[in-house]
Structure 1
Amino acid sequence: MVLLPLSEAVVGGCFTPVALIASDFDGTLTHQGKLTATVLESLQALAFVNIPVLIITGRSAGWVEAINSYLPIIGAIAENGGVFYRKNREQPEFLTPIVDIEAHRHRLRQVFQQLKTVFPNLKESADNRFRITDWTFDVTGLTPSDLQNLSQLCQESGWDFTYSTVQCHIKPFAQNKADSLIYVLTTYFPQLRREQVLTVGDSPNDESLFNPLLFPLSVGVNNILHYTDQIRYHPQYVTTKAENEGFCELATLILKLIDVLPPSS
């Protein structure tokens, strides 16, 4: 599948109905793992013109609670769909029902230990202590073949698996970004049509957000090109720049389309 450049979206007028942006975080809003002033400016500019941004990330619940408090966003979904933090709400909403969190974490740990018998060099992620619904380990050093084998092993143990540029995730089946986003949109933004929601991402754990039957308008920042042969669904459009610069490229285009920025910006 050929990913279209953003210029094609401008010609077709595809971005004019955008009323909400659902964006991944790492590798999409960050540069080498760090937030930049330009991204913060873009988020603030979008909020100013009433185009809210909803973060949807694989990061831990504890970590997402913090960014939801500080960034100019309307909310954030953590752990690839497990937990939702709504802006100005102290208590999160569990999108994946868990009767006994301690028992759930114990089962996840057991699966991880089973994986380590096949891949002894797996390293548990530092943020696992702040997680609720999933279990993570570092993706560094794993080949595409390794990742495929890990996915198969997880499924044989009754768990789902995904990965990003940062981590691998052992998670419950049906816990994914698309389903969680659909729930949040239906529950908290019922006035929005799917055609008004723009999804943005950069890696395999964003794949469900690229499903055109669910979200007809999607963009991958340029680094998604590293994974096009590893995912089934691809974004409709791709930026010319990677990571945070790709998101800023997209934000600038949207702001121009609604005449907030001059053409020469």
Structure 2
Amino acid sequence: MLHSLPLTPDRLTDIRLIATDIDGTLTREGKFTTELLQAIDLIRAKGIELLLVTGRSAGWVSAVNNYLPVAGAIAENGGVYFDRNGSGFDFITRIDRIEEHRAELANRFWELQSRYPQIAESSDNQFRITDWTFDVAGLTDLELDEIAIQCQQWGYSFTFSTVQCHIKPLHQDKGIAILHVLERYFPHIAPQQIVTVGDSPNDASMFDRSLFDRSVGVANIQHYATQLAHQPQYLTKLPEVAGFCELVNLLKTRA
């Protein structure tokens, strides 16, 4: 069980930006819903910015950022950033030789696949720049731990979400990326004025209390209670997008 506090309005004063994961946090069974769009409208009416922070590929996030009324989007667990004006993306993680980097990641994946033949490259991997992904389905907790150790020995970091596993550069994570984006694109918003939201292990750095004062886990994060390097301060009663809407409705009622 997570040792998190229930979410109440008094914990949400002076919020100016929500930095949120997508899959399992803004979705229901993997899809966007009308309640999400209504929640985004409520956020905007309160003058609160919404920043997407996802492990999904740069190609996939480019489209989502274009169609949703959000302030921007961080893709690939902190690798790249898309701003709201659709003018392209900026690297958060510097990659000097992209083709060589991709080739090295491919070799590492094939080595893993020889040991764990059940793993398959994710469908959006061809649209990635900074990391390499394969589906998490079929892997046990022990195997995930073994893969993480192997990636560290190769000089990479490793994380996973409800849908994908990620081999990525060291120190590339969501928490560091959020702080970078805040400093460069939202200098008028202090880290103390944001709330971070997530649901799985690749969101753990968003719950780091040395980085962020307020963090929220939607209820389905309980599935990963023993696998989180950092735990959210607050927990919603409801899972997935219903939990996110719970947060938004509390923000709506604040003074």
The Cα shift of 1:189 comes to: 1.2
Q: Which residue of 2 aligns with 1:26?
A: 23
Aligned 1:140-219 pairs, distance under 5 A: 140-219=137-216
Of residues 183-192 and 124-133 in structure 1, the stretch that sits farther from structure 2 once superposed is 183-192
Of residues 237-246 and 85-94 in structure 1, the stretch that sits farther from structure 2 once superposed is 85-94
Distance 2:30 2:133 in 1: 17
- Which amino acid in 1 is paired with 2:251? I
The Cα shift of 1:129 comes to: 0.6
SS of corresponding position for 2:175: helix
Q: Which residue of 2 aligns with 1:231?
A: 228
> Would you say how many aligned residue pairs link Structure 1 and Structure 2?
254
Distance 2:123 2:130 in 1: 16
- For residue 69 of structure 2, the aligned residue among 66, 69, 72 is 72
Moved over 3 A (4+): none
- Which amino acid in 1 is paired with 2:244? F
The Cα shift of 1:216 comes to: 1.2
TM-score of the pair, normalised by structure 2:
0.98
Distance 1:114 1:81 in 2: 25
| Residues 66 and 86 in structure 2, CA contact (< 8 A), matched pair in contact too | no
| Residues 118 and 138 in structure 2, CA contact (< 8 A), matched pair in contact too | no
Structure 2 residue runs of 5 or longer lacking an equivalent are none
2:135 paired with 1:138: yes
SS of corresponding position for 2:159: strand
SS of corresponding position for 2:85: coil
TM-score of the pair, normalised by structure 1:
0.94
SS of corresponding position for 1:154: helix
2:7 paired with 1:6: yes
Of residues 130-139 and 113-122 in structure 1, the stretch that sits farther from structure 2 once superposed is 113-122
The Cα shift of 1:232 comes to: 2.0
The Cα shift of 1:27 comes to: 0.2
Deviations for 1:45-69, whole angstroms, at most 9, x for unmatched residues? 1012210100000000000000101
RMSD: 0.9
Distance 1:145 1:233 in 2: 20
Q: Which residue of 2 aligns with 1:124?
A: 121
Deviations for 1:216-255, whole angstroms, at most 9, x for unmatched residues? 1000000111111111210000000000000001101111
The Cα shift of 1:43 comes to: 0.7
Deviations for 1:25-48, whole angstroms, at most 9, x for unmatched residues? 000000010000001110121012
- Which amino acid in 2 is paired with 1:177? K
2:93 paired with 1:93: no
Distance 1:15 1:21 in 2: 11
- Percent pairwise identity: 49
